[in-house]
Amino acid sequence: MNSTTSVKKELNEKNGFQIWWRLLRPHTLTASIVPVFVGTMFALTNHPINLLLFLAMLIASILIQSATNMFNEYYDYARGLDNEKSVGIGGTIVRDGISPTTVLRLALAFFGIAMLLGVYICIESSWWIAVIGLICMLFGYLYTGGPLPIAYTPFGELFSGFFMGTVIIGISYFIQTGTLTVSVIWLSIPIAIFIGAIMMSNNIRDLDGDKENGRKTVAILLGRKNAVRFLAIMFISAYCLTAIYIIAGVLPVWSVLVFLSMMKAADVITKFRGKTKPLEMMPAMAATGKTNTMYGLLLGVSLLVSHFF
């Protein structure tokens, strides 16, 4: 059994359709789904929503996130950072033998489809959305592309949280209501933190390899133990802000439902403690994505329920 086959077996990677599914890095797609859902549900609390606009925004967001993951796969391979033993990647290029050019072209095709959906969204709302959308796509590319990839700096969590959290929630709300409020910005901050936490978990897992390749992520600057502590602080901050918003009336009382996700957040920290190997930390990485999913879905549902009661 060669090393590639061994790693594929350890990661339970299958062939066929699963190759292309892994390329999307589905465990990260919660970062594109949750903000659209939450932004739309917040709009519903005081304005009727357009279901087609919601679906177009949701699909466009997923496509942009997927394309960003593909650019990550392509450029990390091109820079020699990924090999057949790398954990946390799709492995489409280094383990499955798919051409790097094919991955790059697919990423660009996803961007193209997202742009077409963006045209429809702009027609139904405002052409300013096109400007903001193009900026989001540019930063999606620059996250791992360009001369100084954002992912290689201490600002990866900040940029991903801001663009995937605050900006996407703001757009989702604006295209439904035609306006933007301070409450939407406040609402977006916990979601931005959880999305940043997904990137932080990824960087904690990849700390050793990233350090060898000259990256300067927050996880590297803090060290693994302090990075896990910082991740815990991020979770605590998000939940504290949520409590403040409920007390202040920014969120309905129904939003206490989101605190059901705290157990999963605690599980993330537990799964990271004492682990040093990337494969050992994969469950913690997956749990971080699930925390964002649970928090976001419960928040969206609480807003939906408050609309009817």
Q: End-to-end alpha-carbon separation of the chain, Å?
A: 60
Q: For residue 233, give Cα distances in angstroms to 101, 193, 227.
A: 40, 10, 10
Distance CA 62, CA 255 (A): 25
Q: DSSP label at 250?
A: S
Distance CA 304, CA 309 (A): 9
In this predicted model, what pLDDT tens digit does every residue of 293-309 receive, in sequence order? Answer: 999 999 999 999 998 88
Distance CA 202, CA 282 (A): 9
HSE (side-chain half, CA atoms, 13 Å) at 289: 15
In this structure, are residues 48 and 73 in contact, taking their beta carbons and an 8 Å threshold?
no
CATH of 16-304, one of 1.25.40, 1.10.600, 1.20.120, 1.10.10: 1.10.600
Distance CA 264, CA 295 (A): 10
Distance CA 56, CA 117 (A): 6
Q: For residue 290, give Cα distances in angstroms to 81, 240, 250.
A: 27, 19, 25
In this predicted model, what pLDDT tens digit does every residue of 84-140 receive, in sequence order? Answer: 666 666 678 877 788 889 999 999 999 999 999 999 999 999 999 999 989 988 888
Distance CA 230, CA 118 (A): 36
Q: What is the pLDDT of residue 151?
A: 87
Distance CA 264, CA 115 (A): 35
In this structure, are residues 156 and 86 in contact, taking their beta carbons and an 8 Å threshold?
no
Distance CA 276, CA 143 (A): 25
| Domain coordinates in residue numbering, the chain | 16-304
Q: What stretches in the chain show pLDDT beneath 70?
A: 1-14, 16, 82-90
pTM for this one?
A: 0.90
Q: What is the pLDDT of residue 92?
A: 81
Q: What does residue 180 show for φ and ψ, rounded to 5 degrees? A: -135, 130
Distance CA 75, CA 144 (A): 6
